[in-house]
Amino acid sequence: MAPLCTMGKKLDDHKPSEKADFSSIISFLGSDIRKDKKRRRGDAEKKRRDRINKCLDQLEELIPYVRQKKLCSKVDKAEVLELTVHFVKETLFEKELSFRKTHLSSVAEYERRKWLEHSPSADYERHFSALRKSPTEKCNCGCSDGPSEKLSPRHTSPITSSFPSFQPPLVTVPPLVTSPLHR
């Protein structure tokens, strides 16, 4: 291990009769360490400030408000940050508003289709379209012979629910007979 130096003297150069002044050695070494820490702290602070300035320059280029204002006058760092916050808030608000409009319109469309699907007129349409396809056979459309018994509460009322279900009249058509007059 190399001997420690103090002001050009080696520790080994001290005579045993002389009292070594360890406090001066420690203070000398301590001041050197403190200077080194201070220098490193200054370098780190300069790098941090450079990063902040670089990011602020990028914000000036990205945010339209800052670019417009920069053309008119000098923009300081705090103003760049304020304009950036304003821009981000406005962008988020517009995005949320657009989402709400889209969401509400899709919910409204879903509700409209759901109502049309389960409305009494849709039940009748399904029933009679199946009857038109095969009038002699029983309806295979999945509905009953009358209006749907699965009507939602908004389609029924206490007055109509007490009536018997609708039964279409049974009409018997006699076979076609050709008369001798038309021959």
Q: Which of 113, 121, 116, 112 is nearest to 147 (CA)?
A: 121
pLDDT band at residue 1 using 50, 70 and 90 as cut-offs = very low
Per-residue pLDDT, averaged over 135-162, amounts to 51
- Is a pLDDT exceeding 90 seen at residue 52? yes
66 vs 93: CA distance, rounded Å: 19
Model pLDDT, residue 86 = 92
Nearest to 138 by CA among 93, 109, 168, 182: 168
Residue ranges covered by each domain of the chain? 26-62, 76-131
In this predicted structure, what is the pLDDT of residue 49?
95
Beta strands in the chain (DSSP E): 5-6, 9-10
Residue 124, Cβ density class (10 Å: 0-12 exposed, 13-18 middle, ≥19 buried):
middle
pLDDT of 150 above 70: no
Q: Could you tell me which of 137, 144, 141, 135 has the C-alpha nearest to residue 173?
A: 135
Q: pLDDT at position 24, please?
A: 65
pLDDT band for 55, please (50, 70, 90 cuts): very high
Contact 51, 44 (CB under 8 A): no
Please tell me whether the overall predicted TM-score, pTM, comes out greater than 0.85 for this model: no
Residue 54: pLDDT band (50, 70, 90) is very high
Residue 73 has pLDDT above 60, yes or no: yes
Confidence at residue 67, expressed as pLDDT on a 0 to 100 scale: 81
Which stretch of 78-82, 85-89, 134-138 has the lowest confidence by average pLDDT? 134-138
More confident of the two residues 19 and 116: 116
pLDDT at 17 over 60: no
Residue 102 is predicted with a pLDDT of: 83
